[in-house]
Amino acid sequence: MNSKTTRITPEQVERQQRLCAEIRDYWTTQGVTPTAYVETYGCQQNEADSEQLRGMLEAAGYGLTDSAEGADAVIFNTCAIREHAEQRVFGNVGALVHTKRRHPRQKIFLCGCMMGQPAVVERVKNSYPYVDAVFSTHHLWEFPSLLLRVLTGKKRVFSVEDSAGSIAEGIPVVRTNTLKAWVSIMYGCNNFCSYCIVPYVRGRERSRRPQDVLDECRALIAQGYKEITLLGQNVNSYGRDLDCGMDFADLLAAVAELDGEFRLRFMTSHPKDASRKLFDTIAKYDKICKQFHLPFQSGNDRVLHAMNRRYTAAQYLELVDYGRSLMPELVLTSDVIVGFPGETEAEFEDTLKLIERVRYDALFTFIFSPRAGTPAAKMDDPTPKEEKNRRFDRLCAVQNRISLEIHQGYVGKTVRVLCDGRDKDLLTARTEGGRLVRFPGCDDMIGTYQDITITAATTWSLSGKAADIC
């Protein structure tokens, strides 16, 4: 595998744009206005990738639809992080045989992280002959070329060559949200946590140039977006592959200094690279939300070492304590894995102790899922599934209690929220810390900031009333 990042030239991007014009001409000669359906699995980076896929499809003359039924192109953008996600994808791909039988001209594409695994690609080749094309994340930028080959050729297309990864600017984007926007600042990962497949399927860390990020954010603000989230597998590593003298804290500050009314978030951070400078930057700027997603995965040092996380529980807690010393209101969320191979009861108790010590606002909890091709998949794992489930339930009970206690502390307080939609008869909104708030109001309030007095709390959300009712 080439270990050097490929920077796609403007000329190469322009060629893909010309191919979009050829695709439009192709459909014109057919007398058809084509439609496309994009289904996304997995993380926010996949969501951002799907926005680029929709952008290229629209440039190629496709109308976007919300169902695979009858669509001329169906694209599944897949996730490989857990076995359950893979099985769900294969189940849904299996169902497409029926839609394609009813609509013979339908073309089916599989992309995303799953397609970076050779075993998955072989399975698709052998067991899903009606799938027309497969491409990995490294080839997303040349989707118009792949689409044209499928439309005009008779052979299936597989573009899955291993690569360190690429950076392409100028790809069109169709965003599904008019208030909140994802902005990728980097791609890939160099950390190789022993349980994680991401570095193998998304390539090495590679950063977008600061000016490209700032230009995109500036355009989003001008379009009226109220919230921007900077994305990366490990945003704290931003800039290390660039000779620009700017790290992630510097980039975050530069975005926060842009004119306009907006909130700024980011994800995800790796504790080994989180710096005091980053916490200082968050505290300094009002536009940066006082929320930090900082995955700890385990509270035990031996398990952390086996995970190849490269920090200790004490180092993690030192970061948390520093952040809260600057921002007592800091909302902390995290990821945790229960039942990592070899985890003992005592080691699991260390995780519970850390949760009680930090008192997270919310946790994303997972039972260990072995991923083929990772070191952890080969580790001895003597703990029975039933025991892992018991530990998982205990951990969830602890965190649910803490989340409820924290939420109950909001009752009677007034919080500033961004109203982002409606859930039946109530409006929905998010606090600066990302807490879900429901309150009565009219649709004119969607897209505005509101002051909400909290009247009730559950484990998962807050309820309240607006200061101004329209």
**8 A C-beta contact, residue 355 and residue 384:** no
Among 166, 185, 202, identify where a domain stops.
166
Q: Are 211 and 244 in contact (CB under 8 A)?
A: no
pLDDT for the residue 352? 98
Residue 400 falls within a domain, yes or no? yes
Q: Is residue 161 part of a domain?
A: yes
Q: What is the pLDDT of residue 98?
A: 94
Number of domains in the chain: 3
Q: 397 vs 4, which has greater pLDDT? A: 397
User: Is there a single domain that holds both residue 341 and residue 357?
Assistant: yes
Average model confidence (pLDDT) for the chain? Answer: 94
Within a domain: residue 1? Answer: no
231: left (phi over 0), alpha (psi -120 to 50) or beta: beta
The C-alpha atoms of residue 228 and residue 232 are separated, in whole angstroms, by 13
Say how far apart CA 329 and CA 227 lie, in whole Å.
20
- Pair (159, 189) in one structural domain: no
> Among residues of the chain, what percentage have pLDDT more than 70?
99
* Cβ-defined contacts of 244-248 (< 8 Å, 24+): 244/209, 244/210, 246/210, 247/275, 247/277, 248/185, 248/278
Q: Answer yes or no: do 109 and 83 share one domain.
A: yes
Residue 419 CA to residue 234 CA, distance in Å, equals 29
pLDDT at 80: 86
Q: In the structure, what pLDDT confidence band is assigned to residue 165 with cuts at 50, 70 and 90?
A: confident
Q: What is the pLDDT of residues 321-370, one digit of tens each?
A: 999 999 999 999 999 999 999 999 999 999 999 999 999 999 999 999 99
Residues 64 and 102 in one domain: yes
Between residues 80 and 410, the one the model is more confident about: 410
CATH of the domain at 423: 2.40.50.140
Amino acid 163 reads S
Burial class (CB in 10 A: 0-12, 13-18, 19+), 182: buried
Neighbours of 403 (CB within 10 A): 20
Please tell me whether residues 461 and 382 are part of one structural domain: no
d(CA 222, CA 216): 10
Q: Judge whether 52 and 173 are in contact, CB under 8 Å.
A: yes
Give the whole-angstrom CA distance, residue 310 versus residue 297: 12
Q: Last residue of some domain: 357, 382, 407?
A: 407
What global pTM score does this model have?
Answer: 0.93
pLDDT at 372 over 90: no
Q: How far apart are CA 11 and CA 314, in angstroms?
A: 50
The pLDDT confidence band at residue 1, using thresholds 50, 70 and 90, is very low
Cα(362)–Cα(407) distance, rounded to whole angstroms?
Answer: 10
Instruction: Tell me the residue range of the domain where 438 lies.
Output: 414-466
pLDDT, tens digit (0-9, with 9 covering 90-100), for 211-244: 999 999 999 999 999 999 999 999 999 999 998 8
- Decide if pLDDT at 470 tops 70: no
Measured from the Cβ of residue 22, the count of other Cβ atoms closer than 10 Å reads 15
Over residues 448-467, the mean pLDDT reads 95
List pLDDT tens digits, range 299-323: 999 999 999 999 999 999 999 999 9
Nearest CA to 240 out of 186, 197, 276, 199 is that of 186
- Same domain for 59 and 155, yes or no, is yes
Instruction: Report the CATH number that the domain containing residue 60 is assigned in CATH.
Output: 3.40.50.12160
Instruction: Identify whether residues 317 and 432 lie together within a single domain.
Output: no
Please report, for residues 183, 238, 365, 436, the alpha-carbon distance to residue 213 in angstroms, rounded to integers and kept in the order given.
Answer: 7, 12, 31, 28
Query: Domain holding 378: CATH number?
Result: 3.80.30.20
Residues 126 and 12 in one domain: yes
Look at residue 3 in the predicted model and tell me its pLDDT.
56
pLDDT at 94: 95
> What are the residues facing 263 on neighbouring strands?
227
Which of 407, 422, 439 is the last residue before a domain boundary?
407
Question: Residue range 186-204: average pLDDT?
Answer: 92
Q: How many helices (H) and strands (E) does the chain have?
A: 13, 21
Domain assignment present for 350: yes
The verdict on 47 and 190 lying in the same domain is no
- Which pLDDT score is estimated for 47? 94
Question: Is residue 154 one of the residues assigned to a domain?
Answer: yes
Q: Which of 272, 271, 232 minimizes the C-alpha distance to 252?
A: 232
Please report which residue ranges of 114-209 form alpha helices under DSSP H: 118-127, 143-152, 198-202
Distance CA(273)–CA(224), nearest Å, equals 33
Residue 304 and residue 405 in contact, taking contact as beta carbons nearer than 8 Å? no
Which has the higher per-residue pLDDT, 450 or 7?
450
Give yes or no: residues 25 and 84 share one domain: yes
Q: Is residue 374 part of a domain?
A: yes
Are 10 and 50 contained in the same domain? yes
Residue 216 domain-assigned? yes
Q: Do 402 and 423 fall within a single domain?
A: no
Paired sense of beta strands 462-466 and 449-457, if any:
antiparallel
Residue 268 lies in a domain: yes
